Structure 1
Amino acid sequence: MSDVKVEIDRSYTDGTFTNHDIIRGKVTLVVTKAITLNWIQVKLEGISSSQLNIPRQQSNGKRDKDRKDKIIRDQHKVLYDTQIVFPPDNVRQVSQAKDFTLAPGNYSYSFEFKIPLNNSCAKMGGITNKVSLNLKSFDVMINNGNFNTTFVKNKAHQLASEHGYAGGGNGKRKASFTPPPPKQSYHTTSQLPPSLSGIGEFANVKYFIKVTCKRSSFLKTNLRAYDPFIFLPLDLDVQNRPLLDNQQFELEYKEAFVRKELIFRNRIPEIVGVKVMSSPTKSSEKKALPAVPQAQRPPPSSKKQGFMSRLFSGASDNTPISSSNVTPTYPKRVEQKKRSNVPEIKSKDVPFSFEIRFRYPAFLIPTKPPSFKLYLISNLNPSRYTLAEYGRPDESNGLGIIYLQKLTVKLTSITLVSVVENDGASNEYHLGQHEEVMTVCNNTYQNLKFDLMHSRVNPNASNSTTSPQSSASLHSPGGSVYEIEIPRKYFDNCILPDHLSPSFKTCNITRKYILSVVGGFSCEQIHDFRNKQECGKKIKYVDLQCDNIKVLSGLNMTSTLQSNASRSSIPLHNGGGSGGVPHSSSTSKLPTTHTSTPTPPPTFPSKNSERSYSHSSVTPSSNGHTNYNSVGDGPVQGSSSSSSGAAGGGVSNDSNGGALAAATAAMLPTYEDVVLESSYQDDSEHQRARRRYHQHEQYYSNPEQ
């Protein structure tokens, strides 16, 4: 019995592939009995699948409980490429035979594909690539929707209308042609989505290599084999530029933030300055005391008071009363005496805001430290919270003390799917949503103290991009914004798990994220954290909701990927088994060299080698490639150059001066090349980012189901 196996070479990528990668491998065919084949084809495929349960409804619109829900599934081939490895290309060009017989033995065929940048779902062609069968519901699935039961009926009516006929009565009658409504495009062109699994058949994205050995007889089953692989896209923006380094193309630095206000009301400073009146001096004796208003003078008494009466009644008519001691008349003289000795203290509100700040656009990378910063924001001058009015501006009055007690960070992943039913006339869209909330960190602090007197002016307040949910009440017109940054060490454990899928959007699946940061603050210390009543009474919570946070893959462009991207095509590699000659599979190895040399990245000249470009000579070699020979600047690339180049003083003759100028212009890097090279990711960091992305075990089941 013959068997076929396909195996991907994962030695250079650690099993995870990205855009512009060259995915290589080999097909091993073990033939125990002579077999006749039409061809052996290798496919590179990526399938985005979504599935929904649609409730059955009665004619009145109510759900029919007696009937099971209808299962509707949608599949989109976001990646599709093929390669014939047997018979070899040279045999197919000269042979008219449609089938080939392989004798018993082991055969090995090499293959390689280049993974593109964008999806190719809208470019799918051919009935076998676009139509499939749902084996669970036995419904026909098409690449842009599902056929329902009325599809054939509506198509028949549409065909009759196009020919000017409509049914009715006993005969045919002419009918006015009504063009069908324009079809809504269901496909999107975007960057290839990442591998997705873990939420069942509701939504998944799978990538795999598939080999098919096409038998010449329809009565015999074709031989097939799969090898799934994990795909993780590069972090690029809509212009396919490095997402994390797009600030190089901006004129100014931008930030995104979400801010919410919190007010501690009726707070009294911990330290209050009391103005103590000194003993009267000569100068103070000369200063006349203000007269007491007539309305508050004690009423004249017709009877002369005795000594005891004057003792308990206070000052007599002959004693001067300062305006600072004037108080309203109270029923009790004792209460009036106490109030006159206590200084008047006014309570104040302490407004501040809790803020999370990102560099625009807001993003997070799994397994990486948090990319956001946390701040306490105030629009009031920090001197308000000091003893500056008493001559001590470096000391706190305790009014602006804030205690951070709790910090909770949660990430909500939202997966949106769509499934389309096509009735032959229009599309009916069914939408579904799946949410999953994960707690990233839940930190508890014991009276972590911050004082608004230490806040500093925010220099980038005018360059920030405010979220729609943020509060702008602290921005006073023409005023300054003061901030205190919460040190990163207090939330450095807010790290996303490694299996988290990056944000993406494709034809039928969208993955997005919402970040929630909840801070618990108090204006007083908590003495017993086990006392829930005390904690609930003193702690006030602020919830910051950050919508549409991008989760990135952490993969950036490297020099190798840039070199692969410049390759126009991938050469076909036929293994040692081509032509029907068997050989041992144990001795077959993947090719280490390629028939076409990849285009190298641009060479950037150093300051010491600038002169060498004026001495270089250009010569077309016998194989059609242009050779450059820089005098005194390293070895010659390619074959030896001709002697017609300039010598010594660097003066070239007129015959090759134009070629020299063209070669020099071609070798000099542009500004975009320099910027691109500066954004290349370190190879070791690039490999670490690949290794961390893992998938659920269901990802490795039959990828076409």
Structure 2
Amino acid sequence: MSASILLDQPGTVSYTNLDRIWGKVVVRCGKSIDVQSIVVKVEGESRTRLLAPPGPANERPKPQLEYHKILYKTQTVFPRPEILEANWSTSKNTFTLPPGTHEYQFSVKIPFNNSCASDVSQMGSMSISGSGIEVSKPPQSHVKKTLPPTLSGFPGEAEIRYFVKATVRRSSFWKENPRAYAPFNFLPIEPPRPTPSGNEVYARQRHAFASFPEGAPAVKAKMSSIFSKSKQPSALATSNEAPSISVDARLPESSILTCNDDIPLRILVKRLNKSDVGIFLQSLEISLIGITKVRAQDVHRTENNSWVIMSKSNMGVPIGAAFDPAGTEVPIAENLWRGQTLPNTVAPSFETCNISRKYQIDVRIGIGYYGSTKSWNKVREGDGSRIVGRIALLSSGTLERADQQTQPQTIILPLRLDVSVFSGIAPPPQLLDAMAQARTKSKPKPTLDTKTPLDEKLKAEQGREPDMAVPQTPMEGPSHDFPARQGAAMSSQLPIYEDAPPSYEDAVGTDLPPVDVPRPNYAPPPPLEDDVLRGDEKKGFGGRRDS
């Protein structure tokens, strides 16, 4: 006897909440076989395995395992209810399958939230590795939130996987139960997005370039005028005051990025003083930093991943004009990163019982400054490649000392912003309406004159109502401060929400149809045959034998 699972959707399609997984179980028999039942299970597992630090005597610690069954839906496809009713009087608990091929349809709906707080998740799990049998203790805490996405890329340490499993239960204890296994990718519906406010969040860095030696540019200009008989030798002489700049990386308020979409980023360079010499964009790199927190019992670990969105160097692009007044803001051309979408291997931000993922945007901008107006004019006239070539010669010391006044100064300014990555699967309007009605019925609206002890304390200390207090403006750190301080909204008046954004409840989505919206192509790294983390899957996928 053999069993297999055929899903109606191909394996590259990502399922989401409220979807129905349609398929069929195919059982092939070479002869008549007695079975008790054929059960289909749609399961999701979150597994972690970490090593604790060595003890005081440097003894080798035992691995800590934590296992959560975040999704567990079952459906009996054989025998059918009518067959059970026909055999109810005879108390027959086995049924005979004749030789041949038998197909059984199934359909299971994926809920909103994880179900690891149910009784089935309280059991421990067993894993067989090269060091022996490892048994995980029942988890002590759970987080009830939206189902997390499929996650891989941490072999032997952490994974979140979803699969459909079919088990043909035999009547004899000594005969193995045939099983079939079909994995699928899961990408959750994104939470409701806040209404756009037009404000921005930002990270900022300041830098002041060092001044070149006094008189050197003027002397060079004077020597040039003697041999060229120029009547205005001082016209090319530059001011001794070096440029001072401020660089901002800005995102719309709420800082939300979308899977398989570009980044709504703005980069602004602001002149803080009056200088006769221009500045130029030398390099630009934008990366997405993923911070994954893994927990196994009392052991914690943080893993970092990075995805380079774009990277360019040796650009030599002028930023504004050489004689821009103080306070001038120049935006960096957005076509440098527009169209560079997030990779399809990026999972949306999530939090589950033993694994969580959050993100940051890392912007590294290289800005240069030349010590003479003549050199700046070469960059402005499109001779940036010649200047870049001279930079390499200057570093090797092959140019004359008199020409070293054109040597540029280049600084790399790092900027970081905390962001949330959404799946791009928008909730349907029917779901938002149902959630709004459920919240209106279940929670009364708070009165406006309600005050907390903290409000009274602030009122006494500041001498005014707390809601009239002016929010603090984020300070601008020097260029060596890293990471950059993240600012609040660009507006002094922040929106006040009456309540937190609604969360999804399974009871609300019971009667809703599947989500019919465009879905991004989510392709996490293919999971490896992880014997250390999963154990012997032939005995129940993870060491647990199903009865």
1:347-375 per-residue CA deviation (whole Å, 9 max, x = no partner) reads 43532211111112223334422221111
In the aligned structure 2, how far is the partner of 1:453 from the partner of 1:695?
48
User: Structure 2 counterpart of 1:373, which letter?
Assistant: R
Cα contact 1:516–1:543 (8 A) shared by 2: no
User: Structure 2 counterpart of 1:696, which letter?
Assistant: P
In the aligned structure 1, how far is the partner of 2:283 from the partner of 2:409?
9
Structure with higher Rg: it is 1
Match of 1:72 among 54, 57, 64: 64
Counterpart of 1:668 in structure 2 is none
In the aligned structure 2, how far is the partner of 1:563 from the partner of 1:39?
41
| Deviates most, 491-500 or 212-221 | 491-500
User: Structure 2 counterpart of 1:230, which letter?
Assistant: N
User: Structure 2 counterpart of 1:191, which letter?
Assistant: T
Map 1:114-513 to 2 at 5 A: 114-122=109-117, 124-126=118-120, 130-136=123-129, 137-144=132-139, 186-236=141-191, 241=192, 243=193, 246-247=194-195, 252-266=197-211, 347-378=240-271, 398-399=276-277, 401-420=278-297, 429-451=298-320, 482-492=328-338, 494-513=340-359
Counterpart of 2:104 in structure 1 is 109
Counterpart of 2:388 in structure 1 is 529
1:321-367 per-residue CA deviation (whole Å, 9 max, x = no partner) reads xxxxxxxxxxxxxxxxxxxx999997435322111111122233344
SS in 1 for 2:190: coil
User: Structure 2 counterpart of 1:548, which letter?
Assistant: D
CA change 1:555–1:532 in 2 (3 A) is farther
Cα contact 2:249–2:415 (8 A) shared by 1: no
User: Structure 1 counterpart of 2:366, which letter?
Assistant: G
Shift of 1:694: 4.1
User: Structure 1 counterpart of 2:526, which letter?
Assistant: H
In the aligned structure 2, how far is the partner of 1:545 from the partner of 1:21?
40
Shift of 1:131: 2.6
Q: How many residues in Structure 1 have an aligned counterpart in Structure 2?
A: 411
In the aligned structure 1, how far is the partner of 2:279 from the partner of 2:40?
65
Shift of 1:188: 0.5
SS in 1 for 2:147: coil
CA change 1:547–1:559 in 2 (3 A) is closer
SS in 1 for 2:133: coil
In the aligned structure 1, how far is the partner of 2:133 from the partner of 2:85?
41
Shift of 1:82: 0.8
Shift of 1:92: 3.1
Map 1:665-684 to 2 at 5 A: none
Map 1:522-671 to 2 at 5 A: 522-524=368-370, 525=376, 527-530=386-389, 531-532=391-392, 534=394, 538-558=408-428
1:639-676 per-residue CA deviation (whole Å, 9 max, x = no partner) reads xxxxxxxxxxxxxxxxxxxxxxxxxxxxxxxxxxxxxx
Counterpart of 2:526 in structure 1 is 696
CA change 1:99–1:134 in 2 (3 A) is same
Counterpart of 2:47 in structure 1 is 49
Match of 1:686 among 504, 518, 523: 518
User: Structure 1 counterpart of 2:361, which letter?
Assistant: L
In the aligned structure 2, how far is the partner of 1:515 from the partner of 1:552?
14
In the aligned structure 1, how far is the partner of 2:431 from the partner of 2:234?
77
In the aligned structure 2, how far is the partner of 1:266 from the partner of 1:56?
53
1:562-605 per-residue CA deviation (whole Å, 9 max, x = no partner) reads 89999xxxxxxxxxxxxxxxxxxxxxxxxxxxxxxxxxxxxxxx
In the aligned structure 1, how far is the partner of 2:346 from the partner of 2:247?
27
Cα contact 1:42–1:211 (8 A) shared by 2: yes
SS in 2 for 1:198: strand
In the aligned structure 2, how far is the partner of 1:261 from the partner of 1:546?
14
In the aligned structure 1, how far is the partner of 2:530 from the partner of 2:210?
59
Cα contact 1:406–1:444 (8 A) shared by 2: yes
CA change 1:27–1:417 in 2 (3 A) is same
In the aligned structure 1, how far is the partner of 2:30 from the partner of 2:78?
18
CA change 1:107–1:446 in 2 (3 A) is closer
User: Structure 2 counterpart of 1:506, which letter?
Assistant: T
User: Structure 1 counterpart of 2:207, which letter?
Assistant: L
CA change 1:534–1:560 in 2 (3 A) is farther
User: Structure 2 counterpart of 1:70, which letter?
Assistant: K
In the aligned structure 2, how far is the partner of 1:534 from the partner of 1:345?
21
Shift of 1:699: 7.2
Cα contact 1:20–1:562 (8 A) shared by 2: no
1:367-419 per-residue CA deviation (whole Å, 9 max, x = no partner) reads 42222111113466xxx57xxxxxxxxxxxx44x2211111223332222111
SS in 2 for 1:197: strand
Counterpart of 1:617 in structure 2 is none
Counterpart of 2:499 in structure 1 is none
Shift of 1:91: 3.2
Cα contact 2:170–2:176 (8 A) shared by 1: yes
Counterpart of 1:40 in structure 2 is 38
In the aligned structure 2, how far is the partner of 1:682 from the partner of 1:21?
7
In the aligned structure 1, how far is the partner of 2:114 from the partner of 2:323?
52
SS in 2 for 1:414: strand
In the aligned structure 1, how far is the partner of 2:16 from the partner of 2:246?
41
In the aligned structure 2, how far is the partner of 1:23 from the partner of 1:519?
47
In the aligned structure 2, how far is the partner of 1:98 from the partner of 1:507?
39
In the aligned structure 1, how far is the partner of 2:368 from the partner of 2:254?
32
Cα contact 1:353–1:378 (8 A) shared by 2: yes
Shift of 1:500: 1.9
Counterpart of 2:366 in structure 1 is 520
In the aligned structure 1, how far is the partner of 2:410 from the partner of 2:22?
58
1:245-283 per-residue CA deviation (whole Å, 9 max, x = no partner) reads x215xxx33311111112235489xx99xxxxxxxxxxx
Counterpart of 1:23 in structure 2 is 21
Shift of 1:221: 1.0
Shift of 1:192: 1.0
Shift of 1:80: 1.0
CA change 1:498–1:535 in 2 (3 A) is farther
SS in 2 for 1:489: helix
Counterpart of 1:288 in structure 2 is none
Question: What's the Cα RMSD here?
Answer: 3.7
Cα contact 1:49–1:205 (8 A) shared by 2: yes
CA change 1:257–1:78 in 2 (3 A) is same
